[in-house]
Amino acid sequence: MSTSSTVGTAGARGSAHARPLTGQDYKTLALAALGGALEFYDFIIFVFFATVIGQLFFPPSVPEWLRQLQTFGIFAAGYLARPLGGIVMAHFGDLLGRKKMFTLSILLMSVPTLLMGLLPTYHVIGLFAPLLLLLLRVMQGAAVGGEVPGAWVFVSEHVPARHVGYACGTLTAGLTAGILLGSLVATGINTIFNPAELADWGWRVPFLLGGVFGIGSMYLRRWLHETPVFAELQQRKALAAEMPLKAVVRDHRGAVAVSMLLTWMLSAGIVVVILMTPTFLQKLYGFDARTALVANSVATLCLTVGCVVAGLAADRIGARLTLFVGGALLAASAYAFYTVIHDRPDLLLPLYALAGFFVGTIGAVPYVLVKAFPAQVRFSGLSFSYNLSYAIFGGLTPMIVTLMLKSNPLAPAHYVVALCVLGMLTALFVKQRAPD
């Protein structure tokens, strides 16, 4: 290539990176966020109906504690399947295209969710009922393992470089909105149906809705285009010449370590402050279930807003400063929340809302992850780091915090603060890769 053509290509790329967001960009972000919200809804709706599922899919002679343990074991299987599904889908995403895997992931999530809503119970098919439920849950885990990293890569490669933080923050907000949607649907179902109707057929409704909406979202994704970054790599025949994951493990170990540690902070914020705290509010602080659920919904809504704010901040002041300051504010707000509400229950809503908003600092994490790996192996590097970390730490966090609670009633606060400090220290090692 001549010097003039090289300069011309560089100039074209520079102008592309500097351009404002277009209507097509916003359409891409909206469709990606909508699909992410519905897919995350499909993934977590199981936990809201764990009690009735345990009663219907296991022998009635089984003790209640064992039934619940088996039910949550099936739920946890989805987390354990995330790394394998993410690695496989990322491998083909780096070699065949982002859009194909991005569309496939939502199909692999929607179909199992729909089938869960149609499954015969233990009373009808015996032990095949929990076995089929486990199989469908593993498929869900594999799908979400490809969806989340794939979505971050997809939106980051569509927008100009100076808007990557906003794109990733918006997508992450969509994922957290899926949690809020699950909570609201569960509340509505439990309000509409009495316990007998719920056990008879009402529990099937949220799964059927999730499956239908997911398939509809997959259809909408047909209108999305392949990312310009991948299309250029394909045109220049610059795709990975070897197995992408092999190159990641060999050449990008530092990026993997930083990505995994930041994902640990991310998982601590979501799992402890958002998913586990409603139970803490009832068992440790004496709040009734409805009050805990309302407060959790407010905190999750604030989390969704916080993700977008953190993404915008990463674009303006950089991810390193955003994560450092955001981590400090999350630590302070979470500590205040868990220590104050015991004596001041009237401050539950504002303190939980504030903590939820600063959990939104995690919206800057995907900015770091997509910047940490070159385009040829970006999907594989991000997926491997994120899913492996989430499977390990996201799975261990509930057990660690529960064990800590036996001797320390402020275990949730101390765990979140410790992980925020770890995230702040990790942020100091964040390096920004030059635009592709």
Total domains in the fold of the chain: 2
Given a cut of 80, is residue 255 above it in pLDDT?
yes
Within this chain, do residues 166 and 310 fall inside the same structural domain, yes or no? no
Within this chain, do residues 266 and 386 fall inside the same structural domain, yes or no? yes
Q: How far apart are the first and last CA of the chain?
A: 18
Of residues 47 and 368, more confidently modeled = 368
Within this chain, do residues 31 and 178 fall inside the same structural domain, yes or no? yes
Within this chain, do residues 331 and 191 fall inside the same structural domain, yes or no? no
Give me the CATH number covering residue 414. 1.20.1250.20
Percent of the chain with pLDDT over 70: 90
Rounded Cα distance between 393 and 376, Å, is: 27
Rounded Cα distance between 106 and 85, Å, is: 13
**How many residues would you count in the chain?**
436
Specify if 10 maps to a domain.
no
Q: What is the pLDDT of residues 303-339, one digit of tens each?
A: 999 999 999 999 999 999 999 999 999 999 999 999 9
Within this chain, do residues 311 and 384 fall inside the same structural domain, yes or no? yes
Specify if 4 maps to a domain.
no
Specify if 12 maps to a domain.
no
Within this chain, do residues 176 and 217 fall inside the same structural domain, yes or no? yes
Dihedral over alpha carbons 214, 104, 30, 431 (to 10 degrees): 130
Q: What is the pLDDT of residues 146-166, one digit of tens each?
A: 888 888 888 888 888 888 999
Range of the domain at 361: 242-436
Q: What is the pLDDT of residues 383-413, one digit of tens each?
A: 889 988 988 887 778 778 878 888 888 999 9
Alpha helices in 236-318 (DSSP H): 244-251, 253-268, 277-283, 289-317
Look up the pTM and report it. Answer: 0.82
Section 217-240 average pLDDT: 68
Within this chain, do residues 220 and 301 fall inside the same structural domain, yes or no? no
Identify whether the C-beta of residue 271 lies closer than 8 Å to the C-beta of residue 415.
Answer: no
Among candidate residues 198, 226, 273, the one with its CA nearest the CA of residue 103: 226
Section 205-214 average pLDDT: 90
Mean pLDDT rounded to a whole number for the chain: 84
Given a cut of 90, is residue 20 above it in pLDDT?
no
Rounded Cα distance between 276 and 292, Å, is: 11
Specify if 138 maps to a domain.
yes
CB count within 10 Å of CB 368 equals 27
Given a cut of 60, is residue 251 above it in pLDDT?
yes
For residue 1, the 8-state DSSP code is -
Handedness of CA 155, 156, 162, 163 (dihedral sign): positive
Within this chain, do residues 84 and 204 fall inside the same structural domain, yes or no? yes
Section 378-385 average pLDDT: 87
Specify if 232 maps to a domain.
no
Within this chain, do residues 180 and 299 fall inside the same structural domain, yes or no? no
Within this chain, do residues 213 and 262 fall inside the same structural domain, yes or no? no
Given a cut of 60, is residue 10 above it in pLDDT?
no
Specify if 118 maps to a domain.
yes
Specify if 17 maps to a domain.
no
Within this chain, do residues 188 and 48 fall inside the same structural domain, yes or no? yes
Within this chain, do residues 254 and 213 fall inside the same structural domain, yes or no? no
Specify if 74 maps to a domain.
yes
pLDDT class of 198 with cuts at 50, 70, 90: confident
